[in-house]
């Protein structure tokens, strides 16, 4: 296990346990005296928490425990890349185990259960089964969003399509535009409009307002019912038929030998890999490359 082989805890890190005891003691005393205040965390800001001394103490204990875990990560004798991975992993578990996430330890959810006579619980179970059927967890009511209406509303048109993707070219809004277009490659796991949410929170909108001709790859979502072989598409297919084809189309439309390109998340990995493949063949389709994480 990498943590076991690379992450060694300094003796001083074990003092975090003692420090937790020192920090939680006054909280317990305040709880017994009825003067324990609400912690500075929005998850525990509802009046249902502040009016429940036991739940309020649990919230404080959770936050102090989270802080102790973070101190242990910082005290680990390891490389910075491993420490970054530790930080990420620890915070994933810490956030998942928050008392606000469980009915048994969330007085706000318990109050809603009582006030709604069980309706809140029924709706929660309904949402759970909906997520299970969908195969992924949802954090919002996706039925409230409609492409072209309240998300992904920047005007544009599909200018190319094959079995892997569609290429969208957005309409210019400036009197003149730069000669070289900006080709955006988003990750396959997100919708294309991740960079074109709404006015004021759209990178696509910002780019075209600066005078760029923006072309964006919209990856196809393979389905089990598809019969065109997309389920067997390889990494090489996504590089050649996906990224490199999109760049070729953009160069043809703009009549430019090179374009600018931006890769986001895994889209950046695809883009960088595709450009390495092109370079090995003596081709340089991109003049300026930007990668976002």
Q: Give catalytic residue positions.
A: 265
**What Rg do the C-alpha atoms of the chain give, in angstroms?**
26
Nearest to 253 by CA among 192, 168, 188, 184: 168
Q: What does the buried/exposed string (b/e) look like for 246-255 if buried means 16 or more CB atoms within 10 Å of the residue's CB?
A: bbebbbebbe
Q: Is 25 helix (H, G, I), strand (E, B) or coil?
A: helix
CA geometry: angle at 152 spanning 151 and 158, to 5°?
A: 150
| Phi/psi-derived region of residue 238, left when phi > 0, alpha when psi is between -120 and 50, beta in every other case | alpha
Give the bridge partners for 94, in sequence order. Answer: none
Tokens of 70: 């973070």
- Helix H or strand E encompassing 166: strand 165-170
Sign of CA dihedral 136, 138, 144, 149: negative
Give the bridge partners for 168, in sequence order. Answer: 158, 216
Q: For the chain, what's the residue count?
A: 293
Contact yes or no for 169/214 (Cβ under 8 A): yes
Question: If you write DSSP's letter for every residue of 280-292 in order, what string do you get?
Answer: HTT---EEEEEEE
Q: Which residues contact 229 (CB under 8 A, 6 or more apart)?
A: 163
């Amino acid at each position: 296990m990498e943590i076991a082989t690379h992450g060694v805890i300094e003796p001083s890190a074990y003092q975090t346990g003692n420090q937790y005891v020192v920090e939680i003691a006054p909280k317990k005393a305040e709880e017994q005296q009825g003067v324990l205040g609400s912690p500075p965390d929005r998850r525990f800001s509802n009046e249902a928490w502040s009016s429940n001394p036991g739940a309020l103490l649990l919230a404080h204990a959770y936050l102090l425990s989270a802080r102790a875990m973070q101190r242990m990560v910082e005290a680990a004798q390891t490389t910075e890349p491993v420490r970054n991975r530790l930080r990420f992993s620890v915070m994933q578990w810490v956030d998942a185990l928050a008392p606000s996430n469980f009915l048994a330890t969330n007085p706000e959810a318990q109050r809603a259960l009582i006030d709604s006579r069980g309706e809140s619980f029924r709706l929660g179970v309904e949402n759970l089964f909906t997520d299970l059927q969908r195969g992924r967890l949802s954090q919002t009511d996706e039925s409230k969003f409609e492409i072209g209406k309240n998300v992904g509303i920047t005007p544009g048109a599909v200018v190319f399509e094959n079995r892997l993707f569609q290429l969208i070219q957005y309409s210019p809004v400036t009197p003149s535009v730069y000669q070289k277009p900006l080709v955006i490659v988003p990750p396959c796991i997100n919708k294309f409009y991740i960079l074109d949410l709404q006015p004021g929170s759209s990178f696509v909108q910002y780019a075209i307002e600066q005078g760029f001709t923006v072309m964006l790859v919209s990856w196809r979502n393979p389905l089990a019912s598809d019969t065109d072989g997309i389920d067997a598409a390889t990494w090489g297919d996504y590089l050649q038929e996906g990224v490199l084809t999109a760049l070729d189309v953009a160069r043809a439309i703009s009549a430019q030998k090179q374009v600018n390109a931006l890769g986001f998340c895994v889209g950046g990995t695809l883009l960088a890999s595709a450009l390495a493949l092109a370079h090995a063949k003596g081709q340089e389709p991109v003049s300026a490359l930007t990668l976002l994480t």
